[in-house]
Chain A
């Protein structure tokens, strides 16, 4: 048994738990260990910060979509469907 709570969770484990931690799906005991660990481990705090930066940057990537031409074509198809169904 150890009194040092940071040795309770190795950094190597922490990097695998981080997604569960950020998703809020980590069991309470593990969450406590995680929180205690980052409190006393600057490199792991840095790791968590980097993961958060990664998510923030990913959220800024442009969303791709279909071309304007393809979009127009779909709206035309939708209109045709409307006129043909009301014409029935």
Chain B
């Protein structure tokens, strides 16, 4: 997995080629970063169409501004800064003022798992341990209908995440960016980035857990169509 498209050149080489009008380099850059830029833009503006316009404006600003790029930040950070400024301007005209600092103010308590799933702290033997344990998932092999459905459920769950969680999870887990790059691009501290990642991933897991719990039992020749939700430990000890 990991990064889908890697820009391996150093920033200096990259900028030099762009200045020399190397179209292939520009195309590579567009292909590598348009997805992440779109992700971020969509957190500021109302519609996907406007987000695409903002990304387009960002690239045009790169075309006209590459001569003035001073290399004080990385190209990636520069790109995201241009996009953030443009997206904020658009958000203002849309009267949708969401300060970027919202990304930091995400401090409310949000447990990864519903607290009622655990035994109370007062439990004499197992305080805070599972009362309702997670059950194994019955995932379909890659390419099957079940697998495609799972990915569709996950895709919707990702889009439903609060915006800061959504962009962090998308950049980290869909685009495969390292934490440091996400922090730089979104101007987040490492700790904030991790909190957002944790909450986003935990929500996605919870959605998948509900999905697999509700999914009909898939009969497979290997299991003889046994109930998919039995824990192996309990299943082996109990007669049917």
Contacts and interface: CB of A to CB of B under 8 A. Distances in A.
Report if A and B associate in a common complex: yes
For chain B, the bracket of interface size reads: 35 or more
Contacts of B1: 56, 59
Nearest to B176: A59
A47 B134 contact: yes
B59 interface: yes
Contacts of A15: 111-113, 202
Contact of B129 (A10, A18, A20, A70): A10
Say whether chain A's binding surface is mostly helix, strand, loop, or mixed: helix
A65 B166 CA distance: 16
A51 B205 contact: yes
A11 interface: yes
Interface residues of A, number: 47
A54 B174 contact: no
Contacts of B27: 71, 75
Interface in B33-64: 34-35, 38-39, 52, 55-56, 59-60, 63-64
A65 B33 CA distance: 8
Interface string B134-165: 11110100000000001100110010000000
B179 A23 contact: yes
